[in-house]
């Protein structure tokens, strides 16, 4: 069975070796599915999620335009398999020839499938098998609070008061006046 998924986030995580990796986090079946991507792929997906246009069309933008111009449509993407730690995806497309619908399925890397789905605003699905193998509970991805990270809100600083500054220099104990 496939489950509807959405992109819950794009960011940097740490792999089993302690190395930083870019990842897309999909939310499906009350779980998160982390998928490692390159930094460029993460950036492209973040731009698409934010609706920010790029100066020139990125590869995924170009592909969507080509599919559309050739009379097709992107129906959805599926992350439906995992083997040896590698995820596999399918892209479902539809094309109409003389009023007759033709369905086409293409193998794809999950990162490309997700990037296309975000741009085309189409369905992302993840299979039970993939979620059973690699799904994680949401608690695993909670971030530390600002307080736990030692981040202070600048509005919490006291007002700067010049009268609190001692401007007298003791030249007797410091002959250079420093």
- pLDDT given for residue 12 in this prediction: 86
Q: Would you call 149 helix, strand, or coil by DSSP?
A: helix
Q: pLDDT tens for residues 163-175?
A: 554 555 555 555 5
Q: pLDDT tens for residues 47-60?
A: 889 988 778 888 89
* 89, part of any domain: yes
* 177, part of any domain: no
Other CB atoms within 10 A of residue 67 CB: 19
Q: pLDDT tens for residues 67-113?
A: 999 999 999 999 999 999 899 999 999 998 888 999 999 999 999 99
Query: CA angle, 177 as apex, 172 and 178 as ends, to 5°?
Result: 125
* 134, part of any domain: yes
* 159, part of any domain: no
> Torsion angle of alpha carbons 3, 90, 76, 41, nearest 10°?
100
* 149, part of any domain: no
* 162, part of any domain: no
- pLDDT given for residue 56 in this prediction: 83
Q: For residues 105 and 101, what is the distance between their CA atoms, to the nearest angstrom? A: 13
Q: How many Å separate Cα 84 from the centre of its chain?
A: 23
* 10, part of any domain: yes
The pTM (predicted TM-score) of the whole model is 0.75
Residues spanned by the domain of 9: 2-142
Q: pLDDT tens for residues 109-151?
A: 999 999 999 999 999 999 999 999 999 998 887 665 545 444 4
- List, in order, residues 6 or more apart from 124 with CB less than 8 Å away: 4, 5, 6, 7, 26, 76, 77, 78, 79, 113, 114, 117
Q: For residues 163 and 171, what is the distance between their CA atoms, to the nearest angstrom? A: 21
- pLDDT given for residue 174 in this prediction: 54
- pLDDT given for residue 160 in this prediction: 45
Q: Which residue has the higher pLDDT, 40 or 158?
A: 40
Q: Which residue has the tokens 């390159």?
A: 38
Number of domains in the chain: 1
pLDDT band at residue 1, thresholds of 50, 70 and 90? very high
Q: For residues 10 and 36, what is the distance between their CA atoms, to the nearest angstrom? A: 10
CATH code of the domain covering residue 27: 3.10.690.10
- Cβ atoms of 65 and 56 within 8 Å: the answer is no
- Cβ atoms of 107 and 88 within 8 Å: the answer is yes
């Amino acid at each position: 069975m496939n489950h509807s998924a959405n992109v819950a986030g794009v960011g940097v995580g740490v792999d089993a070796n302690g190395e930083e990796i870019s990842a897309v986090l999909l939310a499906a079946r009350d779980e998160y599915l982390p998928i490692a991507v390159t930094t460029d792929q993460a950036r492209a997906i973040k731009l698409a999620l934010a609706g920010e246009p790029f100066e020139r069309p990125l590869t995924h933008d170009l592909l969507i335009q080509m599919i559309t111009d050739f009379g097709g449509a992107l129906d959805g993407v599926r992350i439906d398999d995992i083997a040896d730690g590698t995820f596999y995806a399918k892209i479902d497309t539809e094309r109409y020839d003389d009023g007759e619908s033709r369905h086409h399925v293409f193998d794809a890397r999950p990162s490309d499938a997700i990037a296309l789905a975000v741009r085309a605003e189409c369905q992302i699905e993840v299979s039970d098998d993939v979620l059973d193998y690699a799904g994680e509970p949401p608690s695993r991805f909670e971030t530390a609070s600002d307080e736990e990270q030692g981040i202070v809100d600048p509005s919490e600083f006291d007002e700067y008061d010049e009268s609190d500054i001692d401007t007298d220099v003791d030249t007797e104990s410091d002959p250079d006046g420093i």
